[in-house]
Amino acid sequence: MEKLSAQQRSRIRRLSQPKELAPDEEGGELNIVPFLDIITNVMMFVLATITVTFTATIDSFPPRAGGASARAPTTPTLGLTILVVPDGFSVKARGGNVAPGCNDTGPGLAVGKANNDWDYTTLTACVRKLKASSDAFKDETSVTISGNPNIAYQTIISTIDAVRSTPDPSGKDIELFPDVSFGVAR
Partner 1 sequence: MSENQPYAIGGVGAGAAPPGGRPPQPPASMAVYKRELRRETRRRALEPEINFLNITAMLDMMTIILVFLLKSMSAQTASIPQSADLTIPKSILTTEASQEGVAVLVSKSWIIVDDKQVVPVPGDPTHGVEGKYKRGGPNDLYITELASRLQSWRDRDKQVRASTGRDPSGSEAIIIADKDTPYRLLVEVLFTLGQTEFNKFHLMVLQGSKK
Assess 8 for contact with partner 1 (CB under 8 A).
Answer: yes
Of the candidates 53, 69, 74, 115, which one interacts with partner 1 according to CB under 8 A? 53
The DSSP secondary-structure symbol of 41 reads: H
Amino acid at 8: Q
Of the candidates 23, 62, 66, 107, which one interacts with partner 1 according to CB under 8 A? 62
What span, in angstroms and rounded, lies between the C-alpha atoms of 177 and 138? 10
Task: State the nearest-atom distance from the C-beta of 103 to partner 1, in Å.
Answer: 26
Which of the ranges 13-21, 67-75, 126-134, 136-144 carries the binding residues for partner 1, by CB under 8 A?
13-21
- Best CA proximity match to 138, nearest among 77, 60, 69, 73: 77
Residues 89-128 as x/- pattern, contact with partner 1 by CB under 8 A? -------------------------------x--------
Assess 66 for contact with partner 1 (CB under 8 A).
Answer: no
Assess 153 for contact with partner 1 (CB under 8 A).
Answer: yes
| CB-based burial, 110-119: b 16+ in 10 Å, e otherwise | bbeeeeeebb
What span, in angstroms and rounded, lies between the C-alpha atoms of 22 and 17? 15
Contacts of 57 (CB under 8 A, 6+ apart): none
Task: State the nearest-atom distance from the C-beta of 126 to partner 1, in Å.
Answer: 17
User: Dihedral of CA 110/112/118/120: which sign?
Assistant: negative
- The H or E element containing residue 127 is helix 120-132
Closer CB to partner 1, 50 or 72, in the complex = 50
Task: State the nearest-atom distance from the C-beta of 166 to partner 1, in Å.
Answer: 11
Q: Are 133 and 104 in contact (CB under 8 A)?
A: no
Task: State the nearest-atom distance from the C-beta of 11 to partner 1, in Å.
Answer: 6
Binding residues for partner 1, rule: CB under 8 A, are 1-8, 11-13, 15-18, 26-27, 29, 31-32, 51-63, 65, 84, 120, 146-154, 156-158, 160-161, 164, 182, 184
